[in-house]
Amino acid sequence: MSEVSLKCRCGEVEGAIVDLAPGRFNRLVCYCDDCQAFARWLSRDGAPSITNDRGGTDVFQVWPSHVRITRGRDKLRIVRLREGGLFRWYTECCSTPAGNMLPSPGSPFVGIPVAFVPAVDTIGPPVGAIQGRFAKGGCPEGAHPSVSAGVLATSAWFLVRGVALRKAKGSPYFADGRPLVAPRVLTVAERDALR
Ligand SMILES: [Zn+2]
Ligand SMILES: [Zn+2]
């Protein structure tokens, strides 16, 4: 068992992912157009980009019940790229991404971009790269154009166990079944401007 700390760039928001062990997390690089749009949206006021030079976001996927936010919870905000889209959390103080999830307190996963996980390398490297067809300059070497069967199977198993083990319970992103803040939903024009 181990844990790894969470910290936004400016330090106002802090927390940890606890009780980590093999099989309890997935680390992946996602090149999808939505993750790229979110990254661009975060940088709209000049915050440093969270992607690699091909547009990939390195994401640490964990079960919400293992996430603790110990400081600055009131700084968390949500943006959705579209009505019905994922909750994409970020910090209001410095636009650090803080977790992508299904828009429900029952989401069995939260994908935390490693910009919020300063010591992620102590846990292990990414196991794969997905949605490479959206990458800048074509599919990067080693990335799958969409999702490999191996990553799909690993992710499905992770989610099934997350549901079965009630790993959404105690998610720090919700209180009384509601998200901590009302999400901001981008307009079509706002979203298109990020493509
Ligand atoms: Zn901050
Ligand atoms: Zn993505």
Compute the distance from residue 116 Cα to the ligand 1 centre, in Å: 10
Q: Which ligand is nearest to the CA of 37?
A: 2
CA proximity to 19, closest of 29, 4, 6, 8 = 4
Compute the distance from residue 126 Cα to the ligand 2 centre, in Å: 14
Residue ranges of the domains in the chain?
2-188
Output DSSP code: residue 90. Answer: E
Which one of 3.40.47.10, 3.50.50.60, 3.40.50.720, 2.170.150.70 gives the CATH number of domain 2-188?
Answer: 2.170.150.70
Mean residue pLDDT across the chain: 96
Pair of tokens at residue 194: 């990020």
pLDDT band, very low/low/confident/very high, at 23 (cuts 50, 70, 90): confident
Compute the distance from residue 31 Cα to the ligand 2 centre, in Å: 6
Mean pLDDT of 169-193: 96
The amino acid at residue 50 is I
CA proximity to 173, closest of 115, 123, 106, 94 = 106
Residue 28 has pLDDT above 80, yes or no: yes
Per-residue pLDDT tens digits for 89-132? 999 999 999 999 999 999 999 999 999 999 998 888 999 999 99
How many CA atoms are closer than 13 Å to the CA of 41, on its beta-carbon side? 27
Pair of tokens at residue 147: 């999702």
Q: Which ligand is nearest to the CA of 14?
A: 1
Residue 1 has pLDDT above 80, yes or no: no
- Residue 165: its pLDDT value, please? 95
Compute the distance from residue 59 Cα to the ligand 2 centre, in Å: 9
